[in-house]
């Protein structure tokens, strides 16, 4: 009988990530999304729970964007336990982040007036992006393509107001299919 190889846990695509509010909401509500999207969220959750990834978040998520009164008690508990993990780092509205938020806001308002973008950057998106840039995350995870108003964040990947930041959907790589 052939021996089975021991499979080591997969390495995360990104070791330090920032989740936009829409990723939190998708995870907490167990949304039905396009193929691969929720699998990417679940893969990210698994890496975070195993301590292979660090998740950065701004407190604005917990205070304003994830409506906890709309969550079931079980989901509120899940959210609370996720936030209490040592590798989930909660960032306050610090002066450097405030300054960068204002810089991004001014930059995209100027881009909008010049007709180089079709929508403005929302205040919450500016905070999230500024926090991710400030903390030098490997990737900013979002599903935001600007369909609900506001700027298409995925289109900004690589250059957010002159700052390097990879913006993408949560990373998911399908496991290879093994044939005998």
State yes or no: pLDDT of 87 exceeds 90. yes
Per-residue pLDDT tens for 88-138?
A: 999 998 999 999 999 999 999 999 999 999 899 999 999 999 999 999 999
- Domain-embedded: residue 4: no
Q: Provide the domain count of the chain.
A: 1
CATH of the domain at 93: 3.40.50.1010
pTM, to two decimals: 0.87
Give the Cα separation of 43 and 56 in Å (integer). Answer: 16
> 119: domain range?
16-168
- Domain-embedded: residue 6: no
Question: Span 36-45, mean pLDDT?
Answer: 92
- Domain-embedded: residue 10: no
- Domain-embedded: residue 71: yes
Lowest average pLDDT, out of 24-33, 82-91, 139-148, 159-168, goes to 139-148
Q: Under 8 Å CB-to-CB from 77, ≥6 apart: which residues?
A: none
């Amino acid at each position: 009988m052939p021996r089975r190889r021991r499979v080591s846990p997969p390495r995360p695509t990104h070791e330090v990530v920032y989740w936009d509010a829409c990723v939190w909401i998708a995870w907490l509500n167990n949304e039905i999304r396009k193929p691969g999207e929720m699998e990417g969220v679940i893969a990210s959750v698994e890496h975070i729970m195993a301590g292979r990834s660090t998740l950065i978040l701004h407190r604005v998520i917990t205070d304003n964007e994830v409506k906890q009164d709309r969550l079931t008690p079980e989901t509120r508990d899940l959210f609370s336990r996720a936030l209490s993990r040592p590798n989930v780092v909660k960032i306050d509205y610090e002066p450097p982040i405030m300054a960068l938020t204002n810089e991004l806001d001014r930059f995209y308002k100027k881009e909008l007036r010049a007709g180089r973008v079709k929508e403005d950057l929302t205040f919450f998106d500016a905070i999230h992006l500024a926090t991710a840039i400030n903390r030098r995350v490997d990737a900013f995870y979002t599903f935001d393509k600007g369909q609900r108003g506001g700027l298409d964040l995925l289109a900004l990947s690589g250059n957010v107001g002159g700052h390097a930041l990879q913006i993408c959907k949560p990373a998911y790589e399908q496991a290879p299919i093994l044939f005998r």
